[in-house]
Amino acid sequence: MRGVATFLATFGIGVATYIAIADSGGGSPVCVAGGHGCQTVAESSYSHLLGVNIAIFGIGGYVILLGAALLRGDAARMVGFAVALVGFGYSLYLTYLELFTIDAICQWCVASAILMTLLFAANTTRMLAYVGTER
Amino acid sequence: MSGSSDREARKEERLRTEEAAEAQRRQQRIKLASAIAFLAVAAVAILIVVSQNQSSGGDSGNLQAVAEVEEELQGIPQDGMVLGQPGAEVAALEFADLQCPVCKAYSEQVLPQIVETQVRTGEAKLDFRAYTIIDADSVPAAAAAIAAGEQGKGWNFVEIFYRNQGLERSGYVTDDFLTAVAEAAGVPNLEKWDRTRKSKAVLAEVEDSTKEAQDLGFTGTPSFAVEGPGTNGLEAIGTPNSAGALEASIAAATK
């Protein structure tokens, strides 16, 4: 299970880094006509939290999940579970916003949401099935 | 024989004790995990609340920055949606959607410099044109601004709207909100404003300027076009990425 989580978290770091770079280097920001796609999502006011791009939070979360996946023991298991649950919950909220508020879907954000869902499943399994063991 | 069975019994006893201790440790860890899950869910809830409140404008009962806008526009002539001296050589057209967060950022971070250095000095005039791209609520918002413009307060309306903009598509553009903005903008006759903003002529104006923006090739807001002695008619300049860049385009149009 740690191997699966390591793979998913590494993939997640890549996706979140791509989103952060694409968002910061996209030239002049504009509100886009048409209402679909990554640019609409990125230019909406939901793409930042306290002035920081959500993707930066994503990178931080995936890095912690990678660290938790690489380490053995209950402490790593619980940190992995907690961070994955927060990431999964917030991804659900962001996907809801994309579908019902922003009316635009960004495939990179969806990819990140899927990875976070899988990481949540992996970390939950790791914690519930192996608690108290050294795996 | 008896010694051997004693040893067996002690071993079994030890194993039972270890198993019980292990079971207890597992119980404690599951309890801890449940607490962690609760905290994680609480953390998500806090993040969502922070996200919702970070630009929670759209509050008709608590409009912000009214005096600041009044000060920014003080002493500059307004005619319809045009801000600046009627005889200014350069006209800079801004195609914008009042619900667009980037337009709000532009109005707060870019336009004040242009207003001070080029509009107040009589070099250029700014012409607000509605380009309704966010959703259906953008139309009544734009119409309300134009109606305020007919009473000489269009730019006050636009600027106060931006300073109090809510989250896009959150349904904050209500009659109450628009009326509160018009009142704060100093529209002298609110009854007339209310009739004007619903008139066919004003709604057609919103539709026409949106079409004009599309014809100019603009796909987002805010987008600018300039016209002056140094241009070949109306020239689309898109979205300059800084106040300096917009200032330079306006300056180039004067020559």
Final residue before a domain boundary, out of B13, B40, B55: B55
CB atoms B223 and A30 under 8 Å: yes
Closest CA to B253 of B60, B241, B233, B216: B233
CB atoms B47 and A86 under 8 Å: yes
Whether the bond between B112 and the residue before it is cis, its omega within 30 degrees of 0, is no
CB atoms B37 and A85 under 8 Å: yes
Please indicate if any CB of chain B lies within 8 Å of the CB of A81: yes
Query: Is a pLDDT exceeding 60 seen at residue A134?
Result: no
Which residues form the domain of B3? 1-55
Which CATH number belongs to the domain containing residue B186 in this structure? Answer: 3.40.30.10
What is the least distance, in Å, from the CA of B26 to any CA of chain A? Answer: 6
Domain count, chain B: 2
- B65 and B48 co-located in one domain: no
Please indicate if any CB of chain A lies within 8 Å of the CB of B71: no
**Residue A131 pLDDT:** 62
Closest residue to B55, CB basis, from A45, A82, A89: A45
Collect all residues of chain A within an 8 Å Cβ-Cβ radius of residue B131: 33
Final residue before a domain boundary, out of B19, B34, B55: B55
pLDDT digits (tens, 9 = 90+) for A50-96: 878 899 999 999 999 999 999 988 888 889 999 999 999 999 999 99
SS3 B61: coil
Closest residue to A44, CB basis, from B101, B131, B218: B101
- B68 and B127 co-located in one domain: yes
**Residue B81 pLDDT:** 97
φ/ψ of residue A52, rounded to 5? -110, 135
Confidence of residue A28 (pLDDT cuts 50, 70, 90): low
Helices A107-130, A2-24: inter-axial angle, 10-degree rounding: 150
Please indicate if any CB of chain B lies within 8 Å of the CB of A134: no
Please indicate if any CB of chain B lies within 8 Å of the CB of A99: no
- B200 and B126 co-located in one domain: yes
**Which residues share a beta bridge with B221?**
A31
For each of chain B's 255 residues, which pLDDT tens digit applies? 567 788 889 999 999 999 998 888 888 878 888 888 899 899 999 888 887 776 567 787 788 889 999 999 999 999 999 999 999 999 999 999 999 988 998 999 999 999 999 999 999 999 999 999 988 999 999 999 999 999 999 999 999 999 999 887 888 999 999 999 999 999 999 999 999 999 999 999 999 999 999 999 998 899 999 999 999 999 999 999 889 999 999 999 987
Closest residue to B36, CB basis, from A28, A29, A82: A82
Which ranges of A53-106 would DSSP assign to H, the alpha helix? Answer: 54-70, 74-97
- Residue bearing the bigger pLDDT, B183 or A36: B183
d(CA B12, CA B18): 10
Burial of B73 (0-12, 13-18, 19+ CB in 10 A): buried
Amino acid at A117: T
- B50 and B77 co-located in one domain: no
The complex's ipTM? 0.77
CB atoms B37 and A74 under 8 Å: no
Closest residue to A81, CB basis, from B36, B54, B133: B36
d(CA A108, CA A125): 26
CB atoms B48 and A46 under 8 Å: no
CB atoms B135 and A35 under 8 Å: yes
d(CA B72, CA B68): 6
φ/ψ of residue B81, rounded to 5? -100, 15
- B46 and B64 co-located in one domain: no
d(CA A45, CA A48): 6
- B42 and B135 co-located in one domain: no
Closest residue to B44, CB basis, from A35, A78, A89: A89
B86: CB partners within 8 A, 6+ apart:
B77, B79, B125
d(CA A100, CA A93): 10
Final residue before a domain boundary, out of B39, B55, B71: B55
Closest residue to B220, CB basis, from A33, A74, A90: A33
- B114 and B240 co-located in one domain: yes
Query: Is a pLDDT exceeding 60 seen at residue A9?
Result: yes
Burial of B38 (0-12, 13-18, 19+ CB in 10 A): exposed
Q: β-pairing, B124-130 with B78-79? A: unpaired
Query: Is a pLDDT exceeding 60 seen at residue A49?
Result: yes
CB atoms A132 and B170 under 8 Å: no
d(CA B161, CA B173): 10
Please indicate if any CB of chain B lies within 8 Å of the CB of A82: yes
Is residue B218 left, alpha or beta, with left meaning phi > 0 and alpha meaning psi from -120 to 50? beta
**Side-chain half-sphere exposure of B44, counting CA atoms within 13 A:** 19
Exposure b/e, A94-133, CB count within 10 A at least 16 = b: bbebbeeebbbebebbebbbebbbbbbbbbbebbeeebee
Amino acid at B32: L
d(CA B118, CA A63): 49
Which of B49, B169, B221 best tests the A interface by mutation, with the highest count of A CBs <10 A? Answer: B169
Rg, C-alpha atoms of chain A = 16
- B147 and B218 co-located in one domain: yes
- B41 and B158 co-located in one domain: no
- B245 and B188 co-located in one domain: yes
- B193 and B82 co-located in one domain: yes
CB atoms B39 and A43 under 8 Å: no
CB atoms A30 and B44 under 8 Å: no
- B48 and B67 co-located in one domain: no
SS3 content of chain B, % helix, strand, coil (to 5): 60, 10, 30
